[in-house]
Amino acid sequence: MKTKVITQENIHEAAKCLADGGTVVFPTETVYGLGADAFNDDAVSKIFEAKGRPGDNPLIVHISHVSQLSRLAKNVSPRAKLLIEKFWPGPLTLILPKCDSVSSRVTAGLETVAVRFPSNPIAQNLISLSGTLVAAPSANLSGSPSPTVCADVVDDLDGRVDYIIDGTGCEIGLESTVVDVSTGKTVVLRPGGVTLEMIKELIPDAELDKGLIDADSVPKCPGLKYTHYSPKADVIVVQGEKKNVRAYIGSMLSQNSDCGVLTYGGGTYDGAKLVLDAGADMTSYAHNLFSHLRTFDKHGVCTVYAEFNPENGMGTAVRNRLYKAAGHKIVEV
Ligand code: TXA
Ligand code: MG
């Protein structure tokens, strides 16, 4: 398949391709998404094929207007409405009871559907122009970090999709917060840019899925059970007092010359193959994490030592992705 990389000037072409059952990669405020017509099973199958994604991992359906929700969700509870009013459009995905017309190919047989209204104007435009609703997972090959820049999409999906829209705007850098409001409870299944603290201001008894806290229980977000969500390099998280973290990483570097370091708040390391900085706060860390992990891979780094410090807010989302990328190899110093 020949993939066309376009900019938003040619968005009409891509929208038509979606309407005709093709696949289009588009930017969102979180990460790039790999879209197809959510109401066309053959088109949806192409997503799974292009990514090499297991069929038991359901997709998020993207809308460009709140009124479109009635095509997807059987009912929208008052709690869901509170979240919608406050956080849509934006990096929040809601799990809702599905309408019969939503295919089980999209929901992987679940009775619920994941819905997101992205704030990125290119994403909104594409969905509106397509005349349908767009099922879209992150636009990476299954198992690798989600792409936040067009070049990373091309690395993974060139030749596997019809269109890639090169656009700016993955400001957040991590995938959306997934919140299950399909039961009596409000449960964050995947942490993201809309933090638990922000949700609790509206719904005080909202909670994090136990699968996210306790390493032994299975997460309710089917996608989060896959552990191979990582770069090629081995990632080792190092946390503790800054001077201990630096001393530990320094001593590891002296034993192996193929290592990289992801710093938190800057700093240099002698003997590292590559040092990249995640930034000075968790918002920057989130924005940089996936693209930096891909850069370490491009430079052939074998082991990445990642400076980290558990924090609330955006820190919860960063911790979730970083610990997964590390396969839970965490050194406390
Ligand atoms: O920011 C995002 O959410 C990006 C952009 C493209 O919108 N999309 C994204 O999709 O991250 P994906 O497929 O990579 O992750 C969706 C997650 C998966 O872990 C999936 O298992 C979960 O949402 N999910 C989808 N439908 C679900 C459902 N009905 N119940 C529980 N989890 C669901
Ligand atoms: Mg994904």
List the structure tokens of 17. 């391709």
CB 167 within 8 A of CB 27: yes
Higher pLDDT, residue 132 or 220? 132
Question: What number of CA atoms fall less than 13 Å from residue 180's CA on the CB side?
Answer: 19
What tens digit of pLDDT does each residue of 34-76 get?
A: 999 999 999 999 999 999 999 999 999 999 999 999 999 999 9
95 lines ligand 1 (CB under 6 A): yes
Write down the mean pLDDT value for the chain: 95
**pLDDT higher than 80, residue 225:** no
Report the alpha-carbon distance of residue 301 to residue 269 in Å, rounded: 15
Query: 197 in helix, strand or coil?
Result: helix
29 lines ligand 1 (CB under 6 A): no
Question: What's the pLDDT at 228?
Answer: 55
Report the alpha-carbon distance of residue 313 to residue 318 in Å, rounded: 9
What tens digit of pLDDT does each residue of 123-176 get?
A: 999 999 999 999 999 999 998 999 999 999 999 999 999 999 999 879 999 999
Higher pLDDT, residue 205 or 224? 205
pTM: predicted TM-score of the whole model, two decimal places:
0.96
In this structure, of 10-14, 145-149, 210-214, 266-270, the range with the lowest mean pLDDT score is 210-214
Classify burial at 215, counting beta carbons within 10 Å of its beta carbon; exposed 0-12, middle 13-18, buried 19 or more.
exposed
Higher pLDDT, residue 87 or 211? 87
Classify burial at 73, counting beta carbons within 10 Å of its beta carbon; exposed 0-12, middle 13-18, buried 19 or more.
buried
Ligand that lies nearest to the alpha carbon of residue 181, given by its number in the listed order: 1
List all residues 6 or more positions away from 196 whose beta carbon is below 8 Å from its beta carbon: 188, 206, 207, 208, 312, 316
182 lines ligand 1 (CB under 6 A): no
Question: What's the pLDDT at 168?
Answer: 83
Question: What's the pLDDT at 107?
Answer: 98
Query: 73 in helix, strand or coil?
Result: strand
What tens digit of pLDDT does each residue of 179-192 get?
A: 999 999 999 999 99
Report the separation in Å between the CA atom of 107 and the middle of ligand 1, taken as the mean of its atom positions: 10
- 219 pLDDT band, cuts 50/70/90, is confident
Report the alpha-carbon distance of residue 322 to residue 235 in Å, rounded: 8
Report the separation in Å between the CA atom of 275 and the middle of ligand 2, taken as the mean of its atom positions: 26
Ligand that lies nearest to the alpha carbon of residue 194, given by its number in the listed order: 1
Percent of the chain with pLDDT over 90: 91
Report the alpha-carbon distance of residue 42 to residue 39 in Å, rounded: 9
**How far apart, in Å, are the Cα atoms of 187 and each of 138, 159, 217?**
22, 38, 15
30 lines ligand 1 (CB under 6 A): yes
Q: Which atom of ligand 1 is nearest to the CA of 172?
A: 1
CB 278 within 8 A of CB 287: no
Report the alpha-carbon distance of residue 314 to residue 174 in Å, rounded: 10
What tens digit of pLDDT does each residue of 99-130 get?
A: 999 999 999 999 999 999 999 999 999 999 99
Query: 9 in helix, strand or coil?
Result: helix
Percent of the chain with pLDDT over 70: 97
Report the separation in Å between the CA atom of 59 and the middle of ligand 1, taken as the mean of its atom positions: 5
- 257 pLDDT band, cuts 50/70/90, is confident
Question: What's the pLDDT at 220?
Answer: 77
What tens digit of pLDDT does each residue of 278-294 get?
A: 999 999 999 999 999 99
- Kindly report whether the peptide bond that precedes residue 191 is cis, defined as omega within 30 degrees of 0: no
**pLDDT higher than 90, residue 236:** yes
Q: Which atom of ligand 1 is nearest to the CA of 116?
A: 7
Report the separation in Å between the CA atom of 203 and the middle of ligand 2, taken as the mean of its atom positions: 27
